[in-house]
Amino acid sequence: MQIQWKRHDGVLEVSVRGELDAENVEDVLAFFQEREGKDEKRIVLDLSELEYVDSSGLGVFVRIMKVRRNSGGDVRIAAPTAEVRKVLELTRLNRVFEIFPSVEEATEKFCTTT
């Protein structure tokens, strides 16, 4: 699993790649916890190269979303793979997160609405 990130127009774009499961989920959690309180409240999760996610991974997505929303920000999801989209839909988290077809669209929407 790899995490790659950049800041663009005040939005933190984070690409989570590979396979996210209970074994490595703490790494993702630590990555976001380190950035809490750093004025990085607006996050786009680029899931275009995330091939696998389990319930632990979903739980971390929910957790970082709650933290950001509590501080006036949000987490949006961009370009989930079919495998990831399926579990988001089964758990109805697709109704909780705003999902965009691309990182560019998710970031652009942040910039025009917040």
Report the interface residues with other proteins, using CB under 8 A: 1-9, 13, 17-19, 21-24, 27-28, 31, 49, 51-52, 54-56, 58-60, 62-63, 65-66, 83, 86-87, 90-93, 96
Q: Does residue 41 contact residue 78 with C-beta atoms inside 8 Å?
A: no
Helix (H) or strand (E) holding 56: helix 55-70
Q: What is the distance between the terminal CA atoms of the chain, rounded to a whole angstrom? A: 31
Q: State the minimum distance, in angstroms, from the CB of residue 88 to other proteins.
A: 11
In the complex with other proteins, the residue whose CB is nearer, 9 or 36, is: 9
CA 63 – CA 17 distance, rounded (Å): 19
Q: State the minimum distance, in angstroms, from the CB of residue 100 to other proteins.
A: 18
Residue for token pair 């630590």: 30
Q: State the minimum distance, in angstroms, from the CB of residue 65 to other proteins.
A: 7
In the complex with other proteins, the residue whose CB is nearer, 37 or 49, is: 49
Strand blocks (E) in the chain? 2-8, 11-20, 42-46, 50-53, 74-78, 98-100
In the complex with other proteins, the residue whose CB is nearer, 29 or 109, is: 29
In the complex with other proteins, the residue whose CB is nearer, 28 or 100, is: 28
Q: State the minimum distance, in angstroms, from the CB of residue 101 to other proteins.
A: 19
